[in-house]
Amino acid sequence: MEWIGYAGALFIGISLGLIGGGGSILTVPVLVYLFNVEPVTATAYSLFIVGATSLAGVYPKYRAAQVNLRTAFFFGLPSLAAVFAARVWLLPAVPYQITSIGDFIVTKPLLLLIVFAILMVIASISMIRNTRPAEALPTDLPAPDFLLMLAGVAEGTLTGMVGAGGGFLIIPVLVLLGKLSVRTAIGTSLLIIAVKSLIGFFVDPARHHVDWTLLLTITGIAIVGVFTGNAIAQHVPARRLRQAFGWFVLAMGIYILLRELVFSN
């Protein structure tokens, strides 16, 4: 199954290069199901893989003037603080066994995967239903900075708990509140994801006993993917890419829910 996992790593990078997000949506399932990494550890590994890959992907976006540094600051800094709080204090405070329903035991790893899958389904619907032209320019005034900061706190807390970089949540916020074009939102999202994911990894208590060979191999393949995805993105309408990826994310989310809630029993 490992060769499928390495193909998945390449697709992680391609998704980040194409739409500035979705890497973590793919990374956790790839690590858990194809490399047999324990789910809580997989959330920590995900932060490093997505962070390093996104950092590599920022460079071509910045050269193309598709990164808004001001928006990245007001959204990204509160998001970073929230990721830190979630990984260091909130996640360790959650007990391993959450509850039981009859013979069905809800554990922390199971809960993380279920929450992750639900987020995938919600995000996929947003991607699929997005009908705004990909290159449409904003016509309204952007949201006040404090709203971007509040949105950053909410996104950082949520993605810190499930080990996601958050691009699938960040981009809609940057487009709707920040009034950025989709392509600029993608580049700005990569910068935010890179900074908060890498810092989140290095302060993460779950990163002890890291399998660096596996982690760096997957990351290297994903970085090849991010440059590939960026090259493809220059020739394909962003709206079509976003909708196609939305259908893929929806299928993945449903698969995880079925696997964990139906077929595991």
The token pair that represents 244 in the structure block: 């196609």
Whole-angstrom distance, CA of residue 182 vs CA of residue 200: 26
List, in order, residues 6 or more apart from 204 with CB less than 8 Å away. Answer: 44, 47, 87, 88
State the burial class of residue 95 (Cβ atoms within 10 Å of its Cβ: 0-12, 13-18, 19+).
exposed
Provide the residue ranges of all domains of the chain, joining segments of one domain with +.
2-263
Query: How does 253-264 read in b/e, with b if 16+ C-beta sit within 10 Å?
Result: beebbeebeeee
Distance between CA 89 and CA 11 in Å, rounded?
32
Q: Give the per-residue pLDDT at 136.
A: 46
Asked if 10 and 221 touch (Cβ cutoff 8 Å), the reply is: yes
Strand, helix or coil at 99?
A: strand
236: left (phi over 0), alpha (psi -120 to 50) or beta: beta
CA dist 205 and 96 (Å) reads 15
Does 243 score more than 80 pLDDT? no
- The pLDDT assigned to 207 comes to 59
pLDDT at 208: 63
Rounded Cα–Cα distance for residues 45 and 206 (Å): 9
User: What pLDDT digit, counting tens, does each position of 21-45 carry?
Assistant: 777 778 888 998 899 998 878 878 8
Instruction: Please tell me the predicted confidence (pLDDT) of residue 251.
Output: 85
Q: What band does 56 get if pLDDT is binned at 50, 70 and 90?
A: very high
* pLDDT tens-digit readout, 111-166: 877 887 887 788 788 778 765 544 444 445 667 889 999 999 988 887 777 766 56
Q: What is the mean pLDDT of residues 222-249?
A: 82
pLDDT given for residue 133 in this prediction: 47
pTM, two decimal places: 0.76
Assess contact for 206 and 47: CB atoms under 8 A.
no
Range with lowest mean pLDDT among 134-148, 161-175, 184-198? 134-148
Of residues 254, 205, 192, 229, the one with CA closest to residue 25 = 254
**Tokens 């697709």 sit on residue:** 11
Query: Within 10 A of 1 (CB to CB), how many other CB atoms are there?
Result: 9
Average the pLDDT over each of 34-48, 52-66, 121-135, 228-242 and give the range with the smallest value: 121-135
Query: In the predicted model, is pLDDT for residue 49 greater than 90?
Result: yes
Given this model, what pLDDT does residue 186 score? Answer: 86
- Look at residue 179 and tell me whether its pLDDT is greater than 60: yes
Quick one: CA dihedral 41, 42, 48, 51, positive or negative?
negative
Read off the pLDDT of residues 67-85 as tens digits, 9 standing for 90 and up.
Answer: 999 999 999 899 888 878 8
Report the DSSP beta bridge partners of residue 101: 104
Backbone torsion region of residue 179, taken as left when φ is above 0, otherwise alpha when ψ lies between -120 and 50, otherwise beta = left
Rounded Cα distance between 246 and 257, Å, is 17
Task: Check: CB of residue 33 under 8 Å from CB of residue 199.
Answer: no
Mean of pLDDT values over 158-181: 75
More confident residue, 240 or 220: 220
Average pLDDT of the chain to the nearest whole number: 82
Residue 66 phi, psi (nearest 5): -115, 30
How many helices (H) does the chain have, and how many strands (E)?
A: 11, 2
pLDDT for residue 10 is more than 60: yes
